[in-house]
Amino acid sequence: MPNTKTAKARDLTNERDRLRNIAVKSRMKTFVKEAATALDSKDAEAVKKTLPKALAEIDRAASKGVIHANSAARKKSTLQRRAAELSR
């Protein structure tokens, strides 16, 4: 239980931010999973559709501070490397 008005306000803010972070991370994971599925199926058309959306969602999560910038770069690099292998 918060002892001060400021502590109570921080509790409310932290909860609001936590819920937003969960939503952003879940949305990012959904798009990444769609892109990964397309890469697994080796469907070039599906990869063209899903990869840019996944990369954009990763960037969005990083810009909001939900994931670390290096984590975003690593996720993007992995997806792009797999897509490049598919086009070979």
Q: Encode the chain in three state secondary structure.
A: CCCCHHHHHHHHHHHHHHHHHHHHHHHHHHHHHHHHHHHHCCCHHHHHHHHHHHHHHHHHHHHCCCCCHHHHHHHHHHHHHHHHHHHC
Q: For the full predicted model, state whether its pTM sits above 0.85.
A: yes
pLDDT of residue 2: 87
Q: What is the pLDDT along the chain (88 residues), one digit of tens a residue?
A: 889 999 999 999 999 999 999 999 999 999 999 999 999 999 999 999 999 999 999 999 999 999 999 999 999 999 999 999 988 7
- 65-85 per-position pLDDT tens digit: 999 999 999 999 999 999 999
CB neighbours of 79 closer than 8 A, spacing ≥ 6?
32, 35, 36, 39, 51, 54, 55
Count of domains forming the chain: 1
Say what the pLDDT of residue 5 is. 95
CA atoms within 13 A on the CB side of 65: 3
Residue-range definition of the domain harbouring residue 75: 5-87
- pLDDT for the residue numbered 37: 97
Looking at residue 10, which CATH number applies to its domain? 1.20.58.110
